Structures are given as structure tokens and as C-alpha cells.
Amino acid sequence: MDSYELNKIAAAVIGAMLVTMVISILGGALVSPRRLAEPAYQIAAAPAAPAAQAAAPAQLDPIGPLLAAANAEAGAGLSRQCASCHTFNQGGRNGVGPNLYGVVGGPRAHAEGFNYSNAMKEAAQRPGDEGKWNYEALNRYLANPQAEVRGTRMAFAGLRRAEDRANLIAWLRTQSANPPPLP
Ligand code: HEC
């Protein structure tokens, strides 16, 4: 190989390097990465404490004092929100949800023949009065079903206003043969 050949090879190599460099510079200029001011995906690095709080049932004031002054007629009106899933009369049929006659003060998962979620069946095993629908348990369930019985199949967002819950529970009492005395 003479030096002329070598020169040709060197020229070819250098030429190729030049072309690559130009392409890379041009490419960089054309598609320069734009830095976002904020990440497009916010990765929620929730600290442990608030997450645990969200899982715990919200702290509600006792419903007893409101029940004493509750308006069962207003509660009857509110019960229409439940009627797509529940009947309340004695011997009424189970629908999407169980018949609710006698639920106040009764055991959780009280309706015969209704296919309750495992979550509700487990809640029925809670010790003592907590296995029943006492007034405070009903209040918590109606405020936020998932907080009171995590995994319940009752797809209901909850009644936010304590007065509404008191009125509704006062009316539910009337749909029962022997409801427990008001607290
Ligand atoms: C979208 C349908 C739906 C609506 C609306 C609904 N519920 Fe329910 N409810 C259910 C289902 C389903 C269950 C059974 C839950 C389970 O097994 O986890 C249930 C269970 C209950 C229970 C427990 C019954 C027991 O035997 O332990 C109560 C009390 C109750 N609902 C009250 C209400 C009230 C009061 C309302 C209206 C404010 C309401 N629900 C609205 C579907 C509904």
C-alpha cells in the first residue's frame, strides 16, 4: 500500500467522523431537550402519617345529642337516597342492598338470605356491641361506609351533614319493632 492509498483511507475516516459530528450537532440543535419547570408526573410521595390517618375512620362527634332533637320526617325524605338499593318495610325484599327493617340496634349483616361482603361478615364478628349497629356505628357507616367497614360493597358516598345522619337514623328507628332507647 503506498502513501497515496493510506491518505485516501485517512481522508475517508476523517470525513466520516466529520459527517457524524455535524449530524450530532445538528440533531442536538433540532431536538434539544426542553427541561420542564415541574415534572409532568407528580409522584405522590405521601408521608406515612397522613396515609394512615386517611385509612382510619374520621373522628365524628357523638350522634346522641343530635338524635334527641332529630326530625324523623326529614329522615324519611333522606331515605329516598337509599331506596334504589334498600327496602325498609318488615319482610321487604333484599335488592342491591339488604332489607333494613330492624337494622337499628340489630346485628351487622342482619338480613336473612342476603349475600354480604366478607368485610361486613367480619365486622359482624367484632366484639360486644361493636358487632351490632348501635347508634354510633350507624352514624359512622352512614358518614363514610368505607371508613367504618373497609371493603363493604355498599357503594354510597356517605351523608356529610351530621344533622342529616341524625334525621335519617331517627327515621330508621321507626322501621324496627324494638329499637334500642336513644342514647
Ligand atoms: C348503591 C346501593 C346502595 C345505596 C344507595 C345504599 N346502600 Fe346501604 N347497603 C348496600 C349494600 C350492597 C349493602 C351490603 C354491604 C356489604 O355487604 O358490605 C348495604 C348495607 C347497609 C347497611 C348494613 C346492613 C346490615 O344488615 O348490616 C346499612 C345500615 C345500610 N346499608 C344503610 C343504608 C342507608 C341508610 C342508605 C341511604 C342513606 C344506604 N344504605 C344506601 C347498598 C346500598
Q: Specify the CATH number for the domain of residue 141.
A: 1.10.760.10
Provide mean pLDDT across the span 154-164: 97
Phi (first) and psi of residue 18, to 5 degrees: -60, -50
- Residue 91 CA to residue 113 CA, distance in Å, equals 12
* pLDDT given at position 3: 77
CA of 99 to the centre of ligand 1 (A): 9
Q: Is the pLDDT of residue 21 over 90?
A: no
Q: When comparing pLDDT for 103 and 59, which is higher?
A: 103
Q: For position 5, what pLDDT does the model report?
A: 83
Amino acid 39: pLDDT: 66
Higher pLDDT, 140 or 16: 140
pTM for this entry: 0.75
Q: Which atom of ligand 1 is nearest to the CA of 81?
A: 37
Q: Facing residues of 132 across strands? A: 107
Q: Specify the number of domains making up the chain.
A: 1
Task: Give the C-alpha distances (Å, rounded to integers) separating 35 from 25, 39, 47, 99.
Answer: 19, 9, 27, 59
At residue 68, the pLDDT reads 94
Determine the Cα angle at 126 with ends 146 and 60, to 5°. Answer: 45
For the CA atoms of the chain, what is the radius of gyration? 33
The three-class DSSP label of residue 2 is coil
Ligand 1 geometric centre to CA of 141 (Å): 9
Which tens digit of pLDDT belongs to each residue from 36-91? 777 676 666 655 554 444 445 558 999 999 999 999 999 999 999 999 999 999 99
The answer to whether residues 139 and 42 touch, using CB atoms and an 8 Å cutoff, is no
Residue 124 lies in a domain: yes
What 3-state DSSP class applies to 101? coil
Q: Indicate whether 86 belongs to any domain.
A: yes
Does residue 19 or residue 151 have the better pLDDT? 151
Task: Residue 124: give the domain boundaries.
Answer: 63-174
Identify the CA nearest to 60 among candidates 131, 130, 165, 152: 165
Residues with CB under 6 A from ligand 1: 81-82, 84-86, 96-98, 100, 103, 108-111, 116-117, 119-120, 133, 141-142, 152-156, 159, 168
| 50, part of any domain | no
Asked if residue 52 is part of any domain, the answer here is no
Output the nine-digit C-alpha cell for 76.
Answer: 324519611
